[in-house]
Amino acid sequence: MKITSACEEFLSHCRVGKNLSEHTLRAYNIDLNEFSAFCTQTTAIADCDRHILRNYLTYLFDKKNLKETSIKRRMACLKAMFHWLESEELLANNPFHKFKAPIKLPKRLPRSLAAHELRSLLTAPLAELGIKTPGEVESITGNLSRKQFNHITCLLTVELLFYTGMRIGELTQILLSDIDLQDSIIKITGKGNRERRVFINDSELTRLIEVYIHLRPRYNPKDKHLFITTHGNPASPQFLRKLIARSAEQASMERHITPHMLRHSTATHLLEAGVDIRHVQKLLGHNSISTTEIYTQVSDNSLKEVICKGHPRRKMLED
């Protein structure tokens, strides 16, 4: 079996057998195409050995200059494919067997937004709409332009991302049938198709969702996704990222803002407010609490800064 055929069969298994999300399938496809190109398409999968894996690692580090996180993802994808090929008896010898090439990841704390940055990001779409609060959106929906609809889309995107801590890919997958505003619940489909529920216990945000649901049929009354574009298509993660980035620019924010920074901000600010870490873990959909614990380091850094500035010892010495 050629390597290209092996990659195609594995992707088919991921799509049908594992029912992975389109976002994950796209990432797998990119990773496997890169490995196929490195090995050349005529290479037999049985000829892939540890020597090729080591050379590929060197190629990713030295030639592609990829970050450690990107390299680790590519190798994890390959490992999953070879493990599947072995389990399906399409491969006699798995090159990853006893293969050791640990990739040390740099310690990076999640990039979250400070309170003043969150205010700027939340108020930027309101300023573009000429209103002061999300509750006023309903008052301008009469002769709404496409540009104004995009501002409302951006506003709801930022509000939901920060309020719920969901991922941008999870946001774009929300269907109208996933929303139960009577019980203030939105059903989320996360990584590995794991389902969880988030609660919208805010009357202003709830009303904003209701107004958006009322407006969206102007562009596509048949589509079942919550978020759509003015062309009537389901909003993609890339589309919403652009709306957020453009809104951040209009707010004159100094750094590039991404949707995932809002997820980090949700966790960080909840923990700093004293919310139990297990509740934050459930809200974010983390499979392991160790993933959530990284945000406690951010909270510790904030605590250190507050203590350094406000500890009474400093005042005692100054007096």
Q: Which residues have a catalytic role annotated?
A: 167, 191, 260, 263, 286, 295
Contact 148, 140 (CB under 8 A): yes
Determine the Cα angle at 162 with ends 135 and 241, to 5°. Answer: 100
Strand pairing report for 179-180 and 195-199: unpaired
**3-state SS record for the chain:** CEHHHHHHHHHHHHHHHCCCCHHHHHHHHHHHHHHHHHHCCCCEHHHCCHHHHHHHHHHHHHHCCCCHHHHHHHHHHHHHHHHHHHHCCCCCCCCCCCCCCCCCCCCCCCCCCCHHHHHHHHHHHHHHHCCCCHHHHHHHCCCCCHHHHHHHHHHHHHHHHHHHCCCHHHHHCCEHHHEECCCCEEEEECHHHCEEEEECCCHHHHHHHHHHHHHHHHCCCCCCECCECCCCCECCHHHHHHHHHHHHHHCCCCCCCCHHHHHHHHHHHHHHCCCCHHHHHHHHCCCCHHHHHHHHHHHHHHHHHHHHHHCHHHHHHHC
Taking the C-alpha atoms of residue 34 and residue 29, their distance in angstroms, rounded to an integer, is 9
